[in-house]
Amino acid sequence: MNDVKRVAILGTGTMGPGMGAVMARAGMEVTLFDVKPEALEKAAATVSLAEGVLDRLEVPVAGGGSVSYESDRAASLKGADVVCEAIPEQLELKRQVLSEVEDEISAEAIIASNTSGIPVTKIAEGMRHPERFIGWHWSNPPHLIPMNEIIPGEQTAPEVTAATEELTRRIGYHPVTLKKEVPGFVENRVLYAIMRECLALLDEGVMDAEGIDLCVKWGIGYKLAVIPPIHLLDMAGLDIYTSVASYLNSDLSNEAGVSSTATGLKDQGRLGIKTGGGFFDYTPEQIKELGAARAAALVGVRKVLS
Ligand SMILES: NC(=O)c1ccc[n+]([C@@H]2O[C@H](COP(=O)([O-])OP(=O)(O)OC[C@H]3O[C@@H](n4cnc5c(N)ncnc54)[C@H](O)[C@@H]3O)[C@@H](O)[C@H]2O)c1
């Protein structure tokens, strides 16, 4: 979709600013809007950080792109070819905002939702033009993970799906399109399957948290970045896989509830990095160092893989 010139992003929390930086780099005029002035102020700093990461990744600058900040929604939407919402994951809020936005944009504009898992068809209920609405799911951090899931709803027009795929390629990312809607889409289904098994092993006392992370990082994570799972099946051999899976699958966690260890920590207020501790403890200095070290490692790995 090379004729996309103007993009409006609604919501400048964790996701919006990085998405904007990536699209501006690809030559689009991006306007960021948020209902909270303080979120909009913070967004400028996040966009600068994201631009620094894009420099380190050596992402080419297409020219003509820009990021601006707008506290008036109608002004942010003016002339937009694409509107991306990255507002909180609440069905009613998304529905209400998008139905209002429909009246404030041109008839040709595409509306995309960065929802992590609310069915796109459900969000579209009540829209006057659901055919131009689509799920465009970025992974966090959005300026670093070069893959977007594309989720057409039941009424999304095929041209809108094709245009979103093209737009994703234009920003240098890999588009992956779902053929039908499933809760959590694909990325989070696979991630949550991994996390469920890890937490079951922890809950059953098979290994401690440190050990599980080491095992997954070096035994699985590092390898999967180079040889993804379906290719790994071909590499391992389907005779081996079917034989192991025939006894192992029935032993794997199919827990429908939530891990008791994770729930217990949450109930104690140990939510993770944001509260200084979850499974592990973090000092403010460690949190800073960890953020920088992780961003640097992701930059390095992505450069090797691309
Ligand atoms: N955080 C993640 O890791 C992640 C990853 C992929 C997708 N997502 C999805 O992206 C969306 C945004 O997530 P986030 O983590 O950036 O949320 P967030 O809570 O960090 O930010 C949301 C922002 O939206 C603003 N907002 C609230 N109502 C608004 C409105 N009516 N109009 C404009 N702005 C409004 C808030 O002030 C806030 O700044 C959600 O749907 C989420 O599920 C999040």
* pLDDT tens digit sequence for 214-273: 999 999 999 999 999 999 999 999 999 999 999 999 999 999 999 999 999 999 999 999
Q: What is the pLDDT of residue 13?
A: 96
pLDDT at 166 over 70: yes
Residue 124 lies in a domain: yes
The rounded Å distance from CA 240 to ligand 1 centre is 44
- Cα 10 to Cα 113: distance, rounded to the nearest angstrom: 10
The rounded Å distance from CA 136 to ligand 1 centre is 14
Q: Could you tell me if 29 and 61 lie in one domain?
A: yes
The rounded Å distance from CA 10 to ligand 1 centre is 8
pLDDT in tens, 145-155: 999 999 999 99
Q: Could you tell me if 160 and 68 lie in one domain?
A: yes
- Cα 197 to Cα 203: distance, rounded to the nearest angstrom: 10
Of 177, 207, 233, the one marking the end of a domain is 177
Average pLDDT on 18-46 reads: 97
- Cα 156 to Cα 116: distance, rounded to the nearest angstrom: 18
Residue 129 lies in a domain: yes
Q: Is the CB of 76 under 6 A from ligand 1?
A: no
pLDDT at 2 over 80: no
In degrees to the nearest 10, what's the CA dihedral of 189, 297, 60, 166? -10
Q: Could you tell me if 154 and 194 lie in one domain?
A: no
Q: Could you tell me if 170 and 193 lie in one domain?
A: no
Total domains, the chain: 2
With pLDDT > 70 as the criterion, what percentage of the chain qualifies? 99
Q: Could you tell me if 37 and 127 lie in one domain?
A: yes
pLDDT in tens, 57-108: 999 999 999 999 999 999 999 999 999 999 999 999 999 999 999 999 998 9
Q: Could you tell me if 164 and 198 lie in one domain?
A: no
Q: What is the pLDDT of residue 26?
A: 98
Residue 150 lies in a domain: yes
Q: Whose CA is nearest to atom 37 of ligand 1?
A: 36
Please choose from 10, 14, 134 the residue to mutate so as to test ligand 1's pocket, defined by most ligand atoms within 8 A of CB.
Answer: 14
DSSP the chain: -TT--EEEEE--SSSHHHHHHHHHHTT-EEEEE-SSHHHHHHHHHHHHHHHHHHHHTTPPP-SS-EEEEES-HHHHHTT-SEEEE---S-HHHHHHHHHHHHTTS-TT-EEEE--SSS-HHHHHTT-S-GGGEEEEEEPSSTTT--EEEEEE-TT--HHHHHHHHHHHHHTTPEEEE-SS--TTTTHHHHHHHHHHHHHHHHHTTSS-HHHHHHHIIIIIIHHHTTS-HHHHHHHH-HHHHHHHHHHHGGGS----S--HHHHHHHHTT--BGGGTBSSSB--HHHHHHHHHHHHHHHHHHHHHH-
Q: Could you tell me if 198 and 125 lie in one domain?
A: no
CATH number, domain of 224, equals 1.10.1040.10
Residue 62 lies in a domain: yes
Q: Could you tell me if 42 and 170 lie in one domain?
A: yes
pLDDT at 306 over 80: no
Q: Which atom of ligand 1 is nearest to the CA of 93?
A: 31
Please choose from 116, 120, 149, 185 the residue to mutate so as to test ligand 1's pocket, defined by most ligand atoms within 8 A of CB.
Answer: 116
Q: Could you tell me if 54 and 157 lie in one domain?
A: yes
CATH number, domain of 83, equals 3.40.50.720
Mean pLDDT of the chain: 96
Q: Is the CB of 86 under 6 A from ligand 1?
A: yes
Of 122, 145, 177, the one marking the end of a domain is 177
Average pLDDT on 155-167 reads: 98
Q: Could you tell me if 103 and 168 lie in one domain?
A: yes
Residue 1 lies in a domain: no
- Cα 291 to Cα 221: distance, rounded to the nearest angstrom: 19
Of 147, 177, 207, the one marking the end of a domain is 177
Q: Is the CB of 171 under 6 A from ligand 1?
A: no
Residue 183 lies in a domain: no
Q: Could you tell me if 88 and 143 lie in one domain?
A: yes
Residue 182 lies in a domain: no
Q: Could you tell me if 170 and 197 lie in one domain?
A: no
Residue 22 lies in a domain: yes
pLDDT at 275 over 70: yes
154: Cα within 13 Å, side-chain hemisphere = 8
**Partners of 135 in beta bridges:** 113, 151
Domain range enclosing 263:
188-305
Q: What is the pLDDT of residue 274?
A: 93
What does the block give as tokens for 27?
């030559």
